[in-house]
Structure 1
Amino acid sequence: MCRTDQSVPEPGEGQDVDATDAVFTSLLEDSAEELYEQAPCGYLSTLMDGTIAKINTTLLEWLGLERSQVVGRMRFTDLLTVGGKLYHETHFAPLLQMKGEVSGIALDIKTAGKQRMPVLVTSKVKTSEDGDPLLIRTTVFDARDRRAYETELRRGRQAAEEARRQSEADRARLQEALAVLQQSLLPAELPAVPGMEAASYYHTASPDLLGGDFYDLFPLDAHRWAFFLGDVCGKGPQAAAVTSLARYTLRAAALHNTNPVNALTTLNTVLHDRYTSGEGRYCTAIFGVLQPDDGHVEVHLASGGHPSALIQRADGSSDYLHTPGGMLIGVLPKATFTAARARLLPGDTLLLYTDGLTEARTGPDRTLYGDEALRTFTTTQPAQGPQALITALTGLLASFGDGLDDDTALLALGPTPLATPGVTT
């Protein structure tokens, strides 16, 4: 006969609690041991002399060794390359002894096939309750991906550095080529004019860009000399092309007709016809003729939209030779140009310049230097001839610093200065 009132015991009811705990403990130990053995990083424990007492399967597989070959038979340093051993002895071991632990030290271990494997090593000394060192627990991380990344990073940096050096070399060659081209647009040196002194200076605002300022001085015949100074709108190769065209047009025009207005008119026609169908190109310029005479120099010049020439007199005064109304060259098919005449006596200097000088920015508020400041500066300089004035203006340009952001051309002409009493040359 069956008993229907017999109760069914709950799970665990009537079982040995201690036996259950033992099962769970065993499972946990098995899991911990499996995690230790198959971890994605290497583990080992060594005695204080470095003898390996325990090592996991992961590290053994990296090394290509059996456990029996390692445990109790090898020391940690036996796993390292020659360089790794040296670093361990000189840095790793002393740091571990002093601090009790080291973290993330880069070493190389010897793998199967005698290959070198980069690793990151972290070690910590395990001590007793009394603080006595017992053993060293070490974790070894595979650093091959990191080493590959660092190698690629170094390669990238080296490539970038090489590219930078190549770029600097290319820039230097470009600047050299631009300097040569810029010089080809200017006279190599001013010719010697009997009874006169001439001086010039060219300031390049940027070594990477061709400027459009130009000047020249050349003979017309045995008694007369032509000069000009101008400024082409813009910079770069296009401006250089206009500069070259302007120089040779003015030279050719002067040999055909020495009248300054006619020379500028010819240049206006050439520029307008050349660039009328595309981007407009124009310039400003002063063209003149010098005729040395007995003790003085006659000057006949014309201006097309250019700043007025400045005359420094031997008596210490300075003033502009005004040429109002002169139009830009190359803008319109017909243009009006203004002529002027002057006589230069010994000690006088005729100064021509481009607007980079008067449009320089000065002072904390970066105001324009201006025409009046230039006249005042010239007045304060001793009247010692063209070269002395150009030297003084060169120093002035240098004093502007980054306030001088445009090319500047200077041309000074005048009768040979009188000898100063008591001074021999």
Structure 2
Amino acid sequence: MPQQHASTLDGHDPRRPVPAPLPEDEDARLAAVRRYDVLDTPPDGAFDRVAAMAAHLLQVPVATVSIVDENRIWFKAAHGLEGVPEIGRDPGLCASAICQDQALVIPDTLRDPVAAGNPLVTGDLGVRFYAAAPITTADGHRLGTVNVLDTRPRVITPEDTAILTDLAAIVMDELELRLSALRAVRAERLLRQAETTRAETEQAARERAERDAAAIAAYAATLQQTLLPPALPSIPGVELACHYHPASRYEVGGDFYDVFPLDDGRWGFFLGDVCGKGAEAAALTSLSRYTLRAAAHQHVDDPLAVLATLNAALLADPAVGSRFCTVLYGTITPADDESGGTVVRLAGGGHPPAFHLIPAPTGHGGARVHPVELHGSTLVGALPDARFVATTVLLRPGQALLLYTDGLSESRDADGRLLDIDGVAAFLAARTGPTTAAALVADTVALLTGLPHGLDDDVALLALAATTTESGLAVTNTGAPGRAAQER
């Protein structure tokens, strides 16, 4: 039943304000008011219609949708009450209405000890009748009221009170919908902010990664350049060409080669492959190159002794650990007969065979390809009693020798099949270009760049070709202890 405040006839002055009591859960109630974030918002058609409907249904001149704040009563919507956005909370009508669960009805405000001092009662409006239903949240907090006011005393029916209660429930539904919309907007805003932040973070991370990758690539390229000769020398009667193809811009490979003078018109050369990549491989490459050059001058006439010296150096260096390498080392000496050409003494330690190319006699391109097998040679730096093998190759004018690392023979064709040594030989035999060092390297590079699956390992190429002239030509195509010898 709605609470009806009776007239006071016990001597109390009805115009003396009596403070409205505070609800027991006032702090929690105010927190709920803040939660719905409705105070001081612009007019809203839905709430304005509720106020107008209340005035119409109960046939009163004034109706409001009121929210009770800490020190004021703020009108979210008002019908018939122009220019009054809020009033003080104490003394008040709505402040009393939110202290009870049911509707509050005051038939005559002048005879009510609380309502008699309200500015709406004592002011120009002269409110004499007041009825209100609390706007109650699902968790029981009364935010304010839907109320009706009249300038004359009156009594309303239970049906009228039920109408007010229903209208208060409608206001609560609107507030819930509004809160859901606000939360959705806030969530969308937060999501967009999070997406923007994430995008900015990812962009910054990409830029940082690109800078790091560029720095790593520059470092790797610089370090790699220190492990390869800046240019090949010019050797009378010999054309030279080389190429280095890294599998990755970001790692230092272990492939290496060099050509350098010895004495009496002789030249030394080598091509090798260190296991692994990165800084450790670079250190081993540097040690191998230095040792091979030094040993080559100590053992000018003995390529096997050069490999044995490298084997001993690698085994003796604790920094090398279990790492090893494969190497082809040789010497170049002009042939002493009238046919001309070049004598190559070649020694190997575990390395894929070089290819000796002899031009086809027809003169229409193509060549016979012979692998220079060094059967039985072992890895350099793996065993104290390593076994190295040497042979002699006579390069007549027009003939060539191609040295390569296993990145070439271990590459894969369009069907994913391993190219292997036989595949490399077949490719070289199928060439129609001249058997010059430059053409040989250029065609092999074209093969590498055309591989559909790319390269899993670095590739180093070194080609030597005997020429018919005494002038030399060099082309640079670039973006072990123990000694058991066998002579072939």
Q: Same fold (TM over 0.5)?
A: yes
Is the CA contact (8 Å cut-off) linking 1:218 and 1:226 kept in structure 2? Answer: yes
What does 1:258-407 align with in structure 2 at a 5 Å threshold?
Answer: 258=300, 259-275=302-318, 279-293=321-335, 295-315=340-360, 316-364=367-415, 366-381=416-431, 382-407=433-458
> Which region of structure 1 is more displaced relative to structure 2, 65-74 or 227-236?
65-74
Q: Deviations over 1:191-230 (max 9, x none)?
A: 1112211011111112222111111111112511110001
What does 1:126-137 align with in structure 2 at a 5 Å threshold?
Answer: none
Q: Deviations over 1:95-142 (max 9, x none)?
A: xxxxxxxxxxxxxxxxxxxxxxxxxxxxxxxxxxxxxxxxx9994644
- How many residues end up aligned between the 2 structures? 320
Give the secondary-structure state (helix, strand or coil) at the position aligned to 2:313: helix
Distance in 2 between residues matched to 1:403 and 1:180, nearest whole Å: 23
How far is the alpha carbon of 1:149 from its aligned partner?
5.8
| Percent identity over paired residues | 37
How far is the alpha carbon of 1:154 from its aligned partner?
2.8
Distance in 2 between residues matched to 1:70 and 1:281, nearest whole Å: 89
Unmatched tracts of structure 1, length 5 or more? 1-19, 25-33, 75-135, 419-425
Distance in 2 between residues matched to 1:338 and 1:169, nearest whole Å: 47
Aligned twin of 1:46: 45
One-letter identity of the residue aligned with 2:36:
P
Aligned twin of 1:125: none
Is the CA contact (8 Å cut-off) linking 1:314 and 1:346 kept in structure 2? Answer: no
Is the CA contact (8 Å cut-off) linking 1:290 and 1:300 kept in structure 2? Answer: yes
Unmatched tracts of structure 2, length 5 or more? 4-28, 53-62, 84-173, 361-366, 470-488
How far is the alpha carbon of 1:163 from its aligned partner?
2.1
What does 1:82-121 align with in structure 2 at a 5 Å threshold?
Answer: none
Is the CA contact (8 Å cut-off) linking 2:44 and 2:77 kept in structure 1? Answer: no
Aligned twin of 2:229: 187
The TM-score, its normalising length taken from structure 1, stands at 0.67
Which structure is richer in relative contact order (CA contacts within 8 A, separation 6 or more)?
2
Are the structure 2 counterparts of residues 391 and 247 from structure 1 closer, same or farther at C-alpha, using a change threshold of 3 Å? same
Give the secondary-structure state (helix, strand or coil) at the position aligned to 2:397: coil
Give the secondary-structure state (helix, strand or coil) at the position aligned to 1:401: coil
Aligned twin of 2:154: none
How far is the alpha carbon of 1:285 from its aligned partner?
0.3
Q: Deviations over 1:310-332 (max 9, x none)?
A: 01112221111111111110111
Distance in 2 between residues matched to 1:309 and 1:201, nearest whole Å: 15
> Which region of structure 1 is more displaced relative to structure 2, 145-154 or 243-252?
145-154
Aligned twin of 2:298: 256
Are the structure 2 counterparts of residues 261 and 55 from structure 1 closer, same or farther at C-alpha, using a change threshold of 3 Å? farther
Distance in 1 between residues matched to 2:206 and 2:355, nearest whole Å: 47
Give the secondary-structure state (helix, strand or coil) at the position aligned to 1:320: strand
Are the structure 2 counterparts of residues 417 and 200 from structure 1 closer, same or farther at C-alpha, using a change threshold of 3 Å? farther
One-letter identity of the residue aligned with 1:305:
G
> Which region of structure 1 is more displaced relative to structure 2, 143-152 or 263-272?
143-152
> Which region of structure 1 is more displaced relative to structure 2, 305-314 or 409-418?
409-418
Distance in 1 between residues matched to 2:334 and 2:411, nearest whole Å: 34
The TM-score, its normalising length taken from structure 2, stands at 0.59
Are the structure 2 counterparts of residues 56 and 268 from structure 1 closer, same or farther at C-alpha, using a change threshold of 3 Å? farther
Q: Deviations over 1:253-294 (max 9, x none)?
A: 01111121011000000001114x873111110000001246
Give the secondary-structure state (helix, strand or coil) at the position aligned to 1:337: strand
Distance in 2 between residues matched to 1:40 and 1:367, nearest whole Å: 70
Question: Is 1:220 equivalent to 2:270 in the alignment?
Answer: no
Root-mean-square deviation over aligned CA pairs: 3.5
**Structure with max Cα Rg:** 2
One-letter identity of the residue aligned with 1:233:
C
Distance in 1 between residues matched to 2:353 and 2:402, nearest whole Å: 9
Question: Is 1:154 equivalent to 2:196 in the alignment?
Answer: yes
Is the CA contact (8 Å cut-off) linking 2:260 and 2:269 kept in structure 1? Answer: yes
One-letter identity of the residue aligned with 2:344:
V
